[in-house]
C-alpha cells in the first residue's frame, strides 16, 4: 500500500459503469458490490458516472445503496437510483438541437437519431436499435423534429453505412463548439450533449454542492467519454482494458473490469481506513 494513503484518502470515489465497474456481461461481481457498499461506511461518498440514461440504472439499485446517486447521460441527468427520480437535468437548447439535426441530416446521408429525455426515449422510425437494447415499452416513436416541448438531455446519432471513425469525426466537425460530442464505446454511436455538459461537469457540480473539490476525488474510467472526468479528478484510475487514450493520461492502471480492478483499488483504500 502506498505510504500516506490515510492522509490522502478521498472524500468521493466516482466510477464509470460499462467496461469499468461492471464486468463485460454487464453484471456487478459480488466482490465489487461489497466494496462499493462499504465506502460510505468509512465516510467516502460514491457516485456512478455513466453514459447510460436513467432508465438503464434500475437493476443497479442494490449497488448504489439507499442514497445512491448516478450522473447519467454523460452529465445530462442526475438520478436518484433507488427512488427512480431525476433530480436535475441539463438539456440541449431547442434552437441548437434543431440546427444541429438539420445540418447533420444535410451533411451525413443515412443518419438516424434518438433522444433521451426525463420522461424516456424518443426513437426515430428505422433507427438501427441493437438487439441487446430493444426499443423499450412506452418509447415515443417519431422524428426528432416532432419531439414536442420536453427538453432533450442527450441526442444519439447513427449512420450504419459509414465507418465508425469517419462518422464520429464528421459529426464532431459539423457540431463544432455548439455542443459536446462523446463516444462511450457503442459501435458508431455519437452522443451529443449541450455545450459544457460532460461527465466531469456533472460530477464536479454534484461534488461542489457538498464541499468536495477535485483534489478529494478519485475517478475510474475506460473510454474517451471518461477523459474529462479523469482529467478533473485528483486521482485518475483506468482499468487495464481501457481505451489507449485513457491509459495514456491516468495516474494508475488497475486490473481489468473482468478482474474486479475497481474493487482491488477500493479494497486497498478500505484497508487504509482501518
- What digits encode the pLDDT tens for the residues 102-113? 999 999 999 999
Tell me the torsion sign for CA atoms 274, 214, 67, 116. Answer: negative
Q: What are phi and psi of 167, to 5 degrees?
A: -65, -50
- What digits encode the pLDDT tens for the residues 167-226? 999 999 999 999 999 887 667 889 999 999 999 999 999 999 999 999 999 999 999 989
| Per-residue pLDDT at 5 | 43
| Per-residue pLDDT at 4 | 41
- What digits encode the pLDDT tens for the residues 121-163? 999 998 887 666 677 777 899 999 999 999 999 999 999 989 9
Q: At what angle do helices 30-38 and 261-272 cross, to 10 degrees?
A: 30
Mean pLDDT, the chain, as a whole number?
A: 91
Domains of the chain: 12-90+198-272 (3.40.50.1000), 94-194 (3.30.1240.10)
**Rg of the chain over CA atoms, in angstroms?**
19
| Per-residue pLDDT at 145 | 95
* 31-44 b/e (C-beta count within 10 Å ≥ 16 → b): ebbebbebbbeeeb
* 124-140 b/e (C-beta count within 10 Å ≥ 16 → b): beebebeeeeeeeeeeb
Residue (of 114, 115, 119) closest to 84 by Cα position: 119
Given a cut of 60, is residue 1 above it in pLDDT? no
| Per-residue pLDDT at 65 | 64
| Per-residue pLDDT at 58 | 80
Instruction: Note the pTM of the prediction, 2 decimals.
Output: 0.87
- What digits encode the pLDDT tens for the residues 212-270? 999 999 999 999 989 999 999 999 999 999 999 999 999 999 999 999 999 999 999 99
| Per-residue pLDDT at 129 | 77
Amino acid at each position: 500500500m502506498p505510504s500516506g494513503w490515510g492522509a490522502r484518502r478521498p472524500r468521493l470515489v466516482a466510477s464509470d459503469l460499462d467496461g469499468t465497474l461492471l464486468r463485460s456481461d454487464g453484471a456487478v461481481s459480488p466482490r465489487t458490490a461489497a466494496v462499493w457498499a462499504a465506502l460510505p461506511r468509512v465516510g467516502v461518498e460514491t457516485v456512478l458516472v455513466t453514459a447510460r440514461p436513467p432508465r438503464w440504472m434500475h437493476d443497479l439499485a442494490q449497488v448504489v445503496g439507499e442514497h445512491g446517486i448516478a450522473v447519467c447521460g454523460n452529465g445530462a441527468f442526475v438520478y436518484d437510483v433507488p427512488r427512480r427520480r431525476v433530480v436535475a437535468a441539463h438539456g440541449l437548447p431547442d434552437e441548437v438541437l434543431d440546427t444541429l439535426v438539420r445540418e447533420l441530416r444535410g451533411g451525413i446521408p443515412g443518419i438516424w437519431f434518438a433522444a433521451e429525455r426525463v420522461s424516456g426515449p424518443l426513437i426515430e422510425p428505422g433507427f438501427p436499435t441493437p438487439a441487446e437494447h430493444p426499443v423499450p415499452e412506452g418509447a415515443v416513436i417519431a422524428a426528432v423534429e416532432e419531439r414536442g416541448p420536453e427538453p432533450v438531455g442527450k441526442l444519439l446519432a447513427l449512420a450504419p453505412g459509414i465507418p465508425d471513425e469517419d462518422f464520429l469525426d464528421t459529426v464532431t466537425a459539423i457540431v463544432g463548439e455548439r455542443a459536446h460530442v462523446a463516444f462511450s464505446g457503442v459501435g458508431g454511436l455519437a452522443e451529443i450533449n449541450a455545450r459544457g455538459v460532460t461527465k466531469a461537469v456533472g460530477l464536479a457540480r454534484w461534488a461542489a454542492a457538498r464541499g468536495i473539490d477535485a483534489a478529494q476525488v478519485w475517478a475510474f474510467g475506460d473510454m474517451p467519454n471518461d477523459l474529462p472526468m479523469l482529467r478533473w479528478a485528483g486521482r485518475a484510475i483506468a482499468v487495464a482494458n481501457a481505451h489507449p487514450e485513457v491509459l495514456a493520461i491516468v495516474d494508475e492502471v488497475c486490473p481489468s473490469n473482468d478482474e474486479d480492478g475497481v474493487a482491488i483499488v477500493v479494497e486497498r483504500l478500505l484497508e487504509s481506513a482501518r
